[in-house]
Amino acid sequence: MSKFKIEPEKLDAAASKLRAISHPMRIAIIELLSGEKHLSVTDIYKSLGIEQAAASHHLNILKNKGILVAKRDGKKIFYSLRSNIISEIVECINRCNEN
């Protein structure tokens, strides 16, 4: 019988990312950005029907936890998923509710 090696740093990092996506609006942002999309804050808040400040707040949380990447182009900042795997995780969770 093999022993499972617990790596606290990896567990903490995973838990931190899961906490970051555990808000309905942040899940909506992830779904909006899935499929290699690069969108500005304006595109995001208008698409979701929320205030610009709220969108910026959620984007900042996702960026700080390494879920999103931000790239500046002139005066605009465009956001994208660091990896589409996160959108696959959200899809998987949604499929768990299909019963």
Q: Is residue 82 part of a domain?
A: yes
Distance separating alpha carbons of residues 7 and 80, to the nearest angstrom: 29
CA distances from 56 to 5, 30, 93 (A): 38, 14, 25
Q: Is residue 67 part of a domain?
A: yes
SS3 68: strand
Q: What is the pLDDT of residues 44-96, one digit of tens each?
A: 999 999 999 999 999 999 999 999 999 999 999 999 999 989 988 888 888 88
The whole-number average pLDDT for the span 36-47 is 94
Under 8 Å between Cβ of 79 and 59: yes
**Domain containing residue 79: CATH number:** 1.10.10.10
Residue-number span of the structural domain to which 32 is assigned: 18-94
Number of domains in the chain: 1
How far from the centroid of its chain's Cα atoms is residue 46's Cα?
A: 18
Q: Is residue 77 part of a domain?
A: yes
